[in-house]
Structure 1
Amino acid sequence: MKRILLRNLFFCFLGGVFLSSCISKKQIAYFQKAQGEHDTISVAQAYVPKIQAGDILSITVSSLNSMASSFFNPFSNTTSDNATNSTLNGIPAVSNATGFLVDTAGMVELPLVGAIKIAGLTTSSARDVIKARLNVYLKEPTVNVRFLNYKISVMGEVAHPSVYVIPNERITLPEALSMAGDLTIYAMRNNVMIIRDVNGKKEFGHVNLTGRDLYDSPYYYLHANDVVYVEPNRAKRQQIEPVFKILPVVLSAVSVLMIVIYYSRR
């Protein structure tokens, strides 16, 4: 009777270990519909980045006189050459493109025009300010302003953790994770962390990818220099914790011992 009880307890223990390592569908499926939730939901307001000190900008100028315009484009060749190196295995990565640096005072220095304060402006507003200054030198100038260092970092349990340059100056969290090759099976999908610079301080936000609240979250649209960290789940932690490394050996030894005891008493 004791042997039967001991054997049942052993198999119950094995069953408990097996079940504890299983992952349910609710833990891995994205954007699950909550009870009473509609299939059409609100989306967070789109993020429009503003120029800050330390940004590197591509500023290209054109006009009716192409030769005169070329004087204001000292980085045109360098930028185009380096832009071709901004991928890593087909994935957008950190670019070493050269452009106009916004100094600590929020100013950018243009040839002949001199210093122009553009910190705090969007790229479209900066374009208008620069264009107004160029009207003195060029006839019907056209200005294009873009960020060259608009980047985000994706790290943790994703297929391709890296720093990614965003050419269109707008990216959502699902897009960033897709760019990084999606989350691995060991990712904790209900507690993805976003680290953001806000007024000189670090802000730590958390989102749940298994629900639809993400779309109305302030972290749906990522900001420049955001860091996305995907935490490993319990199954991954069990793989690296010493107790779970030796557990199969212990269980095997116990099984052999129980078999020996069982047959020795027959």
Structure 2
Amino acid sequence: MKQQRQHLTKISLILFLAYIATIGGMTSCVSPKSIVYFQGDSTRYITQEIAHKYTPTIQPNDILSIVVGSLNTEANEVFNAPNTFTTASTNYSTTGGGARVQPLGYLVNSDGSIEIPLIGKVNVGGMRTTDAADTIRTKLLNYLKEPSVIVRNLNFKVSVLGEVARPAVYVIPDEKITLPEVLSLAGDLTIYGKRSNVMIIREENGQRQYARVDLTSREIFGSPFYYAHKNDIIYVEPIKTRINATDRNVQLVPIVTSIVAAVGTLGILILNFTK
């Protein structure tokens, strides 16, 4: 009887070790070099010329918030009415899901113009928002005393997909943001995100561009894709370890289940023999 208990104990121990080895095989190490950002010269301090500066301009189908102020409060409301808020089902927030309050704003027509009450059609296509504000302010001088105008683009958005903590569509209120900042909004890449091969899809001037950038290299700072443009799609693909681990998990689930069941059965037998 004693020899039988010892034999069962050994078998149970072997199965338990096999179970531990199987679980360990489901994961593998990720090289630190593959997850460290902006690798390069180890010099403590260097300066670099900023390349590919990006200044967003107003394009057809943009939605603009135009806030007019002057000494005549009632007259201001005539121009500010299109900024009235409405409830929309689409959520472009960092949290995702649910409805949100969305401003209507002024829609830029295909010819780059907007329709403003009393003033009529104003061409703002290709302008910066500050230049558009100056143009509108000049036209308002015929109707208001000392008017002030603030123009903002309401649909400057960037989509982030793949191996990030919070994939979503993000609206950028100040219309200027870098790729690292966008990824920070998304909660950074997961440990399984492929930092050396991030894809950016960009549509501008009737063309669709596909680019891949390496976040582990300082060369990203000189890339034309360092600054995110309106409607950019950023996709972080998983590293091979992630894909292989997922495949192994699916394949090994029945094996692990069987091992656990065997260990449990042997444990019951040992308890029965020891009684």
Assess same fold via TM > 0.5: yes
Counterpart of 2:77 in structure 1 is 70
Task: Write the letter of the residue equivalent to 1:184.
Answer: T
Aligned to 2:181: 175
**CA contact under 8 A between 2:92 and 2:170: conserved in structure 1?**
no
Deviations 1:92-139 (A, max 9, x none): x98732100011121100011111111111101111111111111111
Shift in Å at residue 43 of structure 1?
2.8
1:196 and 1:203 in contact (8 A); partners too: yes
Aligned residue number for residue 159 of structure 1: 165
Could you list the per-position Cα deviations for residues 130-182 of structure 1 after superposition, in whole angstroms to 9, with x for gaps in the alignment? 11111111111111100000100000100100000000110100000000011
Report the 3-state secondary structure (helix = DSSP H, G, I; strand = E; otherwise coil) of the residue aligned with 2:228. coil
Q: How many Å separate the matches in 2 of 1:86 and 1:244?
A: 34
Matched residue SS, 2:34 = helix
Shift of 1:247: 6.2
Contiguous gaps of at least 5 residues in structure 2: 1-20, 260-275
SS of equivalent residue, structure 2 residue 102:
coil
Displacement of 1:246 in angstroms is 2.9
What stretches of structure 1 move > 4 A for 4+ residues in a row? 35-38, 247-250
CA distance in 2 between counterparts of 1:95 and 1:155 reads 24
- Structure 1 length as normaliser, TM-score? 0.77
| Kept in 2: contact 1:95–1:148 (CA 8 A) | no
Per mean C-alpha deviation after superposition, the further-off stretch among 50-59 and 125-134 is 125-134
1:26 to 1, 26, 33: 33
User: Which has the greater radius of gyration?
Assistant: 2
The code of the aligned residue for 2:126 comes to G
2:240 is the counterpart of 1:234: yes
- Tell me how large the CA RMSD over aligned residues is: 3.0
Task: Please state whether the residue corresponding to 1:155 is helix, strand or coil.
Answer: strand
Task: Give 5+ residue unaligned stretches, structure 1.
Answer: 1-13, 254-266
SS in 1 for 2:85: helix
Task: Decide whether aligned partners of structure 1 residues 192 and 126 sit closer, same or farther in structure 2, where only a CA change above 3 A counts.
Answer: same
Cα offset, 1:220, TM superposition: 0.9
Aligned equivalent of 1:48: 55
Deviation (angstroms), 1:75: 3.0
Q: Percent identity?
A: 47
| Correspondence for 2:214 | 208
- Confirm whether residue 246 of structure 1 aligns to residue 251 of structure 2: yes
Matching residue of 2:143: 137
Aligned residue for 1:74, secondary structure, equals helix
* Aligned partner of 2:122 among 107, 116, 137: 116
The equivalent residue for 1:105 is 111
Contact 2:176 2:228 in 1 (8 A): yes
Count of residues in correspondence between the two structures: 232
Counterpart for residue 201 of structure 2: 195
Superimposed CA distance per residue, residues 210-266 of structure 1 (whole angstroms, 9 cap, x where no aligned partner): 11111111111100000110010011111333x67436849x99xxxxxxxxxxxxx
Q: Which letter maps to 1:67?
A: E
Per-residue Cα deviation, 1:25-82 (whole angstroms, up to 9, x for no partner): 1001111124679643333343111111100000011112222222111134427x88
Distance 1:195 1:94, change over 3 A: farther
Mapping of residues 75-94 of structure 1, within 5 Å? 75-78=82-85, 87-89=93-95
* Counterpart amino acid of residue 132 in structure 1: T
**TM-score computed with the length of structure 2 as normaliser:** 0.75
Specify the code of the residue in structure 1 equivalent to 2:48.
I
* 1-structure distance, mates of 2:108, 2:64: 8
Alpha carbons of structure 1 residues 94 and 219: separation in structure 2 relative to 1, 3 Å? farther
